[in-house]
């Protein structure tokens, strides 16, 4: 695979990988770093990427591996020198009408709560959820990327949905 092919893959799957990286890290800055690391690694190992054999799945899998390594490394660092978290504030586009404003606020708040629940899931549940709903990977692609059976992916997605639904209901959301 040539650099031109990598550029084509970036233009075709870049947005999906970008969203996936941000969801996976739970932070825009870290997500952007992961996105860059993913494509730098793709350029580095371009000879291993088969453009005819689902490069999106390969890139998502690579992102997951880079992220896992980063989490392990940061875990070791935090045990040596704890850090201070600074909250990020999201800004929302506001429409002119009061009904749109209200529905946007409710939607944004619900989305924020779901993302928080997903972020707090165990990795074995979180990864398939993010891969399926953010990167839009099929069950087979997730199974291949995580090197687990397809049935395990199905059961983890099902269990994750149950956990998310229960957590949301416990927070007072109904009908999810």
- State the angle between helix axes of 98-119 and 150-170 in degrees (0 to 180), rounded to the nearest 10: 120
Model confidence over 73-100: pLDDT tens digits?
Answer: 877 666 665 554 444 444 444 444 666 7
With contact defined as beta carbons under 8 Å apart, do 38 and 77 qualify? no
Residues of the chain with CATH 1.10.1740.10: 1-87
The percent of residues in the chain predicted with pLDDT above 70, rounded, is 85
Fold of the domain spanning 1-87: Rna Polymerase Sigma Factor; Chain: A (1.10.1740)
Fold of the domain spanning 90-176: Arc Repressor Mutant, subunit A (1.10.10)
Residues of the chain with CATH 1.10.10.10: 90-176
Model confidence over 93-142: pLDDT tens digits?
Answer: 444 466 677 777 778 888 888 888 998 999 999 999 999 988 888 999 99
DSSP H helices in 81-149: 98-119, 123-133, 139-146
The overall pTM is greater than 0.75: no
**169: Cβ contacts below 8 Å, ≥ 6 apart:** 176
With contact defined as beta carbons under 8 Å apart, do 60 and 135 qualify? yes
Eight-class DSSP state of 61: H
């Amino acid at each position: 695979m040539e650099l031109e092919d990598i550029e084509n893959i970036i233009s075709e799957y870049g947005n999906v990988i970008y969203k996936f990286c941000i969801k996976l890290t739970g932070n825009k800055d870290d997500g952007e770093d992961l996105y860059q690391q993913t494509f730098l690694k793709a350029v580095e190992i371009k000879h291993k990427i088969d453009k005819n054999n689902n490069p999106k799945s390969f890139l998502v899998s690579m992102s997951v591996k880079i992220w896992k390594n980063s989490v392990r490394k940061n875990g070791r660092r935090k045990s040596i020198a704890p850090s201070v978290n600074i909250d990020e504030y999201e800004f929302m586009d506001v429409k002119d009408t009061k009904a749109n404003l209200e529905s946007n606020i409710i939607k944004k708040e619900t989305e924020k709560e779901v993302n928080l629940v997903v972020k707090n899931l165990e990795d074995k549940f979180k990864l398939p959820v993010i891969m399926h709903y953010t990167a839009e990977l099929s069950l087979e692609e997730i199974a291949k990327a995580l090197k687990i059976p397809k049935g395990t992916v199905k059961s983890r997605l099902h269990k994750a949905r149950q956990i998310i639904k229960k957590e949301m209901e416990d927070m007072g959301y109904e009908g999810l």
